[in-house]
A and B are shown apart, each in its own frame.
Chain A
């Protein structure tokens, strides 16, 4: 199997036109009947090309999904824990894939260790209505992926100081307030 990890970590070179599309859609589609036409107007591109390029970004996996993006907290999921794991390198891929397929695990990333301060190399995010629900889900995960012998730490969130979509490209004037 090719080394997926090095490829995933790398930043992709985007064409100028794709960059424009990313800038146009990164803060969300305008909630109007023809959103791609409106984005196209702002970035000087026909509606059909905007759609084609979005489809291309999806196909290449640069966009993971297109849809309604909800805020967990506002939906009553008030507890969230970043659960971090110290997994032997040779097992991280197998266990990561196991954890990543559960719907209640909303993130599952391998990240570098920073020894000696930080030994953990796999990060998962678990949301729940309260701490107990998060811990129940975690226990379920440990059983299902056989993680009993893996050291982990649970970092519950205390306060949210900021949450918004990422800004990859300089924000276009026209969309900055949409």
Chain B
């Protein structure tokens, strides 16, 4: 295979990746074969779509292909904050990460320096997890459940430059 041909293939793959990541963040077709439908739009094979998505998932660029649920729609969730002693933050973060109910956990620049999202099947289960986290960490949790969602979620426009 010539060098020019190789470059052409690489460019094509890069374009395919960009389109897959940017153009299909919402509106995934609800047909039995959503990936074949994507392939048709892009003029590539279903196999190329699946292979590329699998690879991007492995690299961690894609977290998943599927649903974004409305907060508190299909379960109970809350944003939790803790004001943790700086020297203890790694130890506390590790304890928090150990809970199945935790899906995001960030250190942020504020007196409330640990911010994590908790999700459970219902309000009662959520309250129990919060209590358990407080007991294990020795810090109080400030729970800030969503009251109203103003965001129209159509995904995120990625700038490639």
Using a CB–CB distance below 8 Å, which chain A residues touch chain B? 4-5, 8-12, 14, 18-19, 22, 25-29, 31-37, 47-48, 51, 54-55, 57-58, 61-72, 74-75, 82, 92-93, 96-97, 99-101, 103-112, 114, 117-118, 123, 127, 153-170
Say whether B63 contacts A69, CB under 8 Å. Answer: yes
Bound: A61/B152 CA distance, A: 11
A66 touches B26 (CB 8 A): yes
Q: Is there an interface contact between B67 and A97, defined as CB atoms closer than 8 Å?
A: no
What's the minimum C-beta distance from B80 to chain A, rounded to whole angstroms? 11
- Produce 1/0 per residue, B95-126, CB < 8 A to A: 01100111111111110110111011111000
Nearest Cβ on chain A to B35's Cβ, whole angstroms: 7
B70 CB within 8 Å of chain A: yes
Determine which residue in A99, A100, A153 has the highest number of CB atoms from chain B within 10 A of its CB, and name it: A100
Report whether A11 and B148 are in contact in the complex, using a CB–CB cutoff of 8 Å.
Answer: no
Partner of B148, one of A5, A22, A33, A67: A5
B103 contact from A22, A70, A93, A163, Cβ within 8 A: A163
| Chain B residues closer than 8 Å to A35, beta-carbon distance | 34-35
CB distance from A73 to the nearest CB of B (A): 9
Residues facing A in B106-161 (CB within 8 A) are 106-110, 112-113, 115-117, 119-123, 142, 144-158
Given A25-B66, A65-B27, A166-B103, the answer on whether A11 and B108 have CB atoms closer than 8 Å is no
* A-side contacts of B28, CB under 8 Å: 66-68
- Do A61 and B142 form a contact, CB below 8 Å, given A29-B66, A74-B60? no
CB distance from A125 to the nearest CB of B (A): 9
- Selected from A25, A82, A106, A166, the residue in CB contact (under 8 A) with B151 is A106
| Also in contact, A33 and B153, with CB within 8 A (given A64-B68, A64-B69, A96-B148) | no
Contact of B59 among A11, A69, A74, A159 (CB under 8 A): A74
Which A residues are CB-close (under 8 A) to B79?
A: 109, 111, 123
